[in-house]
Amino acid sequence: MAKQRESRVVKVVVASIVRPIMTAITKVDWRGQHHIPREGGVILASNHLSLADPLTIAHYLYVAGRRWPTFTSKDSVFKIPVVGFVARSTGQIGVRRGSTDAVKALQDAEKALVEDGCSVIFYPEGTCTRDPGEWPMTAKTGVARLALTTGVPVVPVAHWGEQHLLRYGTTRLRPFPRKRVQYLAGPPVDLDKYRGEPITASLLRDATADIMRAITALQAEIRGEEPPAIPYDPRAARQERVGEGDVGRVGGTERADAPESTDTTGATDTTDTTGTAEEPGAGGQTSGAENVSAGGGKDDDAPRS
């Protein structure tokens, strides 16, 4: 089980360090944790607001969900002294981007879910949202593929507040006064209509859209606002930007596209890389069929975990 891939001692040490820090800088509002199964493999698919997300969602999952958080992380993270040791000892999954090793990462993620019964966190968007209103964007199909091939449930998770702690695109951390961070998990996404069907690109896009709609609806509930009718598409925005300057028009709505940069949180770049290498660059990894980018993808072109 999961205990075979993790060191209980290291987990206790990490939790004893991280929990007090998170308590000191955030005021939590956690709901929906009863939707997270207490055992067995489960995919937690979440929106991505800030590079602080991995810490806040890990805090939520560990304390409220009573599950140990597992991420797919950039392979380079495992080469950092101490950090690499901690990552390996806590069962994190390494992904070498831009290489066929993403296939192995996909296999490792499948093993973690099916054989080890882990709770694995993925960011289907593959990077922090570029939507001007900070709503979830379009996503990669890796998470949908992984869910359909393994049969494990996909629990949608939405959150809000980390952008006030560490806004994406900046390095300025604003821990004080404590920031309110809200989390809401929903019931598993119903993917039954896709199971047993040939896994085609069209089917994966439809399943991915269902997952992202569930996440967006949860965030709308948290914010008490109406989300955009059409999700922000960074690729379409880039194409439009070529002819319209810095403003992309997506779905008939003008939206300024944010600067692009590579997500390096090691917890969000592998969301789309967790499926199949839909294209090398989605999630920064080529898994042979889509992307394993559930948390460490290559910016707008990949999902990550």
Q: Which domain holds residue 82?
A: 2-227+262-301
For residue 219, CA distances in Å to 49, 50, 161, 189, 213 come to 11, 15, 11, 15, 10
Is 248 among the domain residues? no
- Residue 285 pLDDT level (bands cut at 50, 70, 90): very low
Is 235 among the domain residues? no
Is 45 among the domain residues? yes
Q: Pick the residue with more confidence: 169 or 269? A: 169
The pTM of this model reads 0.80
- Per residue in 24-60, pLDDT (tens digit) is 999 999 999 999 999 999 999 999 999 999 999 999 9
Q: What is the pLDDT of residue 180?
A: 98
Is 42 among the domain residues? yes
Averaged pLDDT of the chain: 82
For the chain, what is the domain count? Answer: 1
Q: What is the CATH number of the domain that holds 7?
A: 3.40.1130
Is 252 among the domain residues? no
Is 213 among the domain residues? yes
Helix (H, G, I), strand (E, B) or coil at 45: strand
DSSP 205: H
Closest CA to 268 of 67, 62, 11, 74: 74
pLDDT surpasses 90 at 5: no
Is 238 among the domain residues? no
Is 254 among the domain residues? no
